[in-house]
Chains A and B, each alone.
Chain A
């Protein structure tokens, strides 16, 4: 599996029903959905993952599970996304095999090079702009940080952090293959329309 160019990834938030959010994101044209709910039980994650994976297949989109390699294995997800504190890439690769996508969160060229060496397929890079979605002690890295990370890893980059309709095109111009959002879709009063608008800006 590969990462399509100019892709929008919608990540689930901590409040909205993840299956409903995925359905709206896919209706709006998102090509990737990531299930991320830190405090959820394994049982809930499994049930959501099973249904979102099926929805993604119907829409020809990719389904990624955050952190939980066990859940990804159990539902045969298209991929996992690993933070720097999660299971190491090499371990996940050994368990998931060569076909499953592995994305890794990085914020420096050194982390990017190391993720590439361990077998990552794509990088989540951020946070690009100031964001309210996560409690971030570090300042935003800006769009200029994207290019050196691509050069260090030769991997596709999905940019994340404070990305919305007005700055999405700028991130693609800076070299990112795609954009990931949480609150720009889940926090919108009309998530389908918000997704559609983001997709339009990314493809411009």
Chain B
């Protein structure tokens, strides 16, 4: 399970901190920080706050794109957008980090397979407000194609609910990722555990 934080257009720093503090009350997840609006200085400050809280809870902290900030804040992982610094270059420069990458097609999944990545993220599988401006969702059959195209673990993202999670796993997904269900940090541990109850152990 990947918990994605942040938003498309506005900074949610306060939310990320409140979410991180609840992780000690849930099963371990990958907590992916998506903070597109912050300068690198502010992002580093936030990551240095989040990293010990998340890593001490047993979860994995993954910083979006900036592997330099992942390294300096002692995060375990980095999550690369599709148009990022190439994953093989990232792995060479930061071999200690777990690295995942977003892909949006079976071709991209295949191309990413031998780049040294640890996992892929594919979506949007279902309709989700943040991705609606980019067109219709990719759908469950595309997810199946992507899972067949790569030997890497694939996490399905985009409109994922606990009830929809099993259909993703049936298509070959390793796990699921979501952002919107966790906007209320108070209920986040219960929501994570609800998701996990729908996933095979």
Count residues of chain B with CB under 8 A from any CB of chain A. Answer: 23
CB–CB A86/B84 < 8 A: no
CB–CB A43/B86 < 8 A: yes
CB–CB B94/A73 < 8 A: yes
Bound-complex Cα distance A87 to B71 (A): 12
> Which of B19-27, B60-68, B120-128, B146-154 binds A?
B60-68
Smallest CB-CB separation from B67: which chain A residue? A70
Contacts of B39 in A (CB 8 A): 83, 85-86
Contacts of B89 in A (CB 8 A): 46, 74-75
**Min C-beta distance of B99 to chain A, whole Å:** 12
Instruction: Tell me the number of A-to-B contacts counted with CB atoms below 8 Å.
Output: 65
Known A73-B68, A73-B94, A74-B90; judge A87-B41 contact (CB<8 A). yes
A42 contact from B41, B44, B72, B84, Cβ within 8 A: B84
In the assembled complex, B42 has its CB within 8 A of some CB on chain A: yes
In the assembled complex, A138 has its CB within 8 A of some CB on chain B: no
In the assembled complex, A44 has its CB within 8 A of some CB on chain B: yes
In the assembled complex, A71 has its CB within 8 A of some CB on chain B: yes
In the assembled complex, A133 has its CB within 8 A of some CB on chain B: no
B41 contact from A43, A74, A86, A94, Cβ within 8 A: A86
Smallest CB-CB separation from A43: which chain B residue? B83
In the assembled complex, B40 has its CB within 8 A of some CB on chain A: yes
In the assembled complex, A67 has its CB within 8 A of some CB on chain B: yes
Smallest CB-CB separation from B44: which chain A residue? A87
In the assembled complex, A69 has its CB within 8 A of some CB on chain B: yes
In the assembled complex, B28 has its CB within 8 A of some CB on chain A: no
Smallest CB-CB separation from B83: which chain A residue? A41
CB–CB A45/B68 < 8 A: no
Smallest CB-CB separation from A49: which chain B residue? B85
A85 contact from B42, B68, B71, Cβ within 8 A: B42
In the assembled complex, B93 has its CB within 8 A of some CB on chain A: yes
Bound-complex Cα distance A44 to B85 (A): 8
Known A67-B40, A85-B42; judge A42-B69 contact (CB<8 A). no
In the assembled complex, B81 has its CB within 8 A of some CB on chain A: yes
CB–CB A73/B93 < 8 A: yes
Contacts of A74 in B (CB 8 A): 85, 89-90, 92-93
Q: Mark A47-76, 1 if CB is under 8 A from B, else 0.
A: 000000000000000000001111101110
Q: Which 5 A-B pairs have the closest CB atoms?
A: A41-B83, A85-B39, A69-B68, A42-B84, A70-B68
Question: What are 18 A-B pairs with beta-carbon distances under 8 A?
Answer: A41-B84, A43-B83, A43-B84, A43-B86, A45-B85, A46-B89, A68-B68, A70-B67, A73-B94, A74-B89, A74-B90, A74-B92, A75-B89, A85-B40, A86-B39, A86-B40, A87-B40, A95-B71
